[in-house]
Amino acid sequence: MSRMENVLMVNSHLERNLIQRVSVGDMLTRTSQRFPNKVALVDEDVTLTYKELNEKVNQVARSLLQRGYQKGDVVALLCENTNEFVITYFACAKCGLVVMPLNIKLAFDDLAYQLNQSETKVLVFTQSSKDKVEILIDEVPSLQDLFMTEADEEFMLSGKNILPFSHLESGDDTEIEVIIEDRDTLQLMYTSGTTSKPKGVETSHLAIYFSAMSTALQYKLDHNDSSIVMLPLFHVGGLTCILLPNILVGGTNVLIRRYNASKILNTMEEYRTTWTMLSAPMWLEISDQPGLSAKDFSSMRLCVCAIATLPLARHQQVKSIFNNATIILISGQTEFTPPNTAQRPEHAISKSSAWGEPVVAQTAKAMDDDGNILPPGELGELVYRGPQSMTCYFKDPEATESAFKYGWFHSGDSGYIDEENVVWFVDRKKDIIKTGGENVASVEVELVVRSHAKVAECAAVGLPHERWSEAVTIFAKIKDGESVQENELIDFCKERLAGFKVPKKVVFMNEFPMTASGKIQKHELRNIYKDLYIIKA
């Protein structure tokens, strides 16, 4: 084949690809064409319309290609919820690079592991992570270019030249046209490791696009919507459950860098936001803030609660504050590009502790250990099918094969599907408490304790016990200004739980070990308090 024939073939492939493909970068391009002057992002004192955002994305994408980076190279983001995070994410989507959001709360060793395993070549970071980056530079030999978002000029760090992010935001802002295949990896995100090293989850353009579309449909989003994005963008909660579906429809995203209950409430009122998603503890803290009756939240039409359900009394309390809003629970896993399940509004009360139905492009079933699909109501492992699935675990074929066994994605969650196709979560398989020959769902105990008027948050954990094998133990954080005795909480549980489910002890906490997405790290509690029931000689 001649050189000319080869060029013509490549051009033909590109032309066909541009017509038919599913590319997350095209999501922003199309929205900017539909709503060029609509506000896309608010990031403190920076406001970007969709036209301005798209132009910056094109500049950064072109700058990365001009620096010699090629399809599949990894660009890591060690950033808070900033406009630069969003710009870099979509720039990678447009030019075929892989974006790897990093948890800014991770310890140095975990960051170094993820950067080295992924052979990251570019790192974009905010000033708050500068000290970590200074140490990482010597430990990650693959790093070639580093950009700090707040820098005004170049500077040296551990012998490495650090460039201002603004250097990428210059030059040609026309559209990038390169071949992006539907199943090309866009996102590499590491799950939290509890007993071993975290696993990298490779997610394709197609999976992420499907997630955004199904979420927009589930939430009934359009260009008139606006949302606070407070959950971290380095986690699927902030990224695929809030930001991307809002971008798809042309909604406005108000970025908040750090959790602060009063700031969230003030921002809701100031920007007349229509919806957002927060974790259950955040909704609880928000609903306890003073002066709420003087605020106007009439614009809020949807309050999404992530993962953990609200006790009925607290659900009603949140509803009384956001009285025009529907309150629903959603759930999901990084491996399946959340959300994966969402409550119907009519089930928010009648099936308040259920996870809801699978979203429109997914199927959920309960399966036994031999790969048999179980009938409605029968307990098993929750398994899923659908285009939102990860491609694989990064460099881990054995874990991938195990997760996809029997032709379904295995979630590691124990639960059942009812007669209305509603998913009921019982517990993580590893969090089931085996006590005195009985199995106790930690979630059931937590729902009871959390319903106590003086409890802010809690976690139920099984700890080693000579008699019971594992003893049901409650870790509780009490609301500010309140006090409660251990026996009061235990008696409260005795009135509402079977005897074998009642906690043997209550440990009062000032703070919990938490993940960046607001979930309590139970494995840390198990490790720290593993000797709680050991009788000293």
The tens digit of pLDDT for each residue in 163-189 reads 999 999 998 999 999 999 999 999 999
Above pLDDT 70, what percent of the chain? Answer: 96
Angle, vertex CA 387, rays to CA 382 and CA 392, nearest 5: 75
**464 and 393: one domain?**
no
Last residue of a domain, one of 388, 405, 428: 428
Whether 381 shows a pLDDT value over 90: the answer reads yes
Tens digit of each residue's pLDDT (9 = 90 or more) over 303-316? 999 867 787 888 89
- At 484 the three-state DSSP class reads coil
**423 and 437: one domain?**
no
What span, in angstroms and rounded, lies between the C-alpha atoms of 480 and 456?
A: 8
Domain tally, the chain = 3
Tens digit of each residue's pLDDT (9 = 90 or more) over 389-441? 999 999 999 999 999 999 999 999 889 999 999 999 887 777 889 888 788 88
C-alpha neighbours within 13 Å on the C-beta side of residue 44: 7
Q: Which residue has the higher pLDDT, 2 or 489?
A: 489
Structural domain includes residue 41: yes
- The DSSP H or E segment spanning 523 is helix 522-528
Taking Cα atoms as reference points, which of 80, 105, 77 lies closest to residue 186? 77
Copy the structure tokens of residue 241. Answer: 């459950």
pLDDT value at residue 10: 64
Residue 254: strand pairing partners: 42, 228
User: Where do we find the tokens 């024939």?
Assistant: 5
Structural domain includes residue 229: no
**184 and 91: one domain?**
yes
Structural domain includes residue 245: no
- For residue 322, give the CATH number of its domain: 3.40.50.12780
**337 and 415: one domain?**
yes
What span, in angstroms and rounded, lies between the C-alpha atoms of 5 and 520?
A: 59
CB 198 within 8 A of CB 114: yes
Residue 410 per-residue DSSP state:
E
Record the pTM.
0.86
**399 and 517: one domain?**
no
Structural domain includes residue 129: yes
Structural domain includes residue 494: yes
Range of the domain at 191: 13-203
Tens digit of each residue's pLDDT (9 = 90 or more) over 65-124? 999 999 999 999 999 999 999 999 999 999 999 999 999 988 788 899 999 999 999 999
**422 and 440: one domain?**
no
pLDDT value at residue 297: 97
Question: Peptide bond before 339: cis, by omega within 30 degrees of 0?
Answer: yes
pLDDT value at residue 194: 44
Copy the structure tokens of residue 443. Answer: 């979630």
**374 and 326: one domain?**
yes
**172 and 54: one domain?**
yes
Tens digit of each residue's pLDDT (9 = 90 or more) over 264-283? 999 999 999 999 999 888 89
**296 and 401: one domain?**
yes
Structural domain includes residue 239: no
The one-letter amino acid code at 102 reads L
Copy the structure tokens of residue 59. Answer: 């500049």
What span, in angstroms and rounded, lies between the C-alpha atoms of 461 and 442?
A: 7
Copy the structure tokens of residue 265. Answer: 């409430």
- DSSP H helices in 392-439: 397-403
Structural domain includes residue 489: yes
Would you place residue 237 in the very low, low, confident or very high pLDDT band (cuts 50, 70, 90)? very high
- Could you tell me the sign of the dihedral formed by the alpha carbons of 217, 333, 390, 178, in that order? positive
Residue 43: strand pairing partners: 46, 255
Whether 195 shows a pLDDT value over 60: the answer reads no
CB 477 within 8 A of CB 457: yes
**410 and 464: one domain?**
no
- For residue 75, give the CATH number of its domain: 3.40.50.980
- At 351 the three-state DSSP class reads coil
**32 and 50: one domain?**
yes
CA 98 vs CA 164, 207, 245, 304, 397: distances in Å: 21, 14, 20, 29, 19
- For residue 473, give the CATH number of its domain: 3.30.300.30
Last residue of a domain, one of 398, 428, 458: 428
Segment 518-526 shows an average pLDDT of 84
Structural domain includes residue 331: yes
Last residue of a domain, one of 203, 226, 246: 203
**399 and 440: one domain?**
no
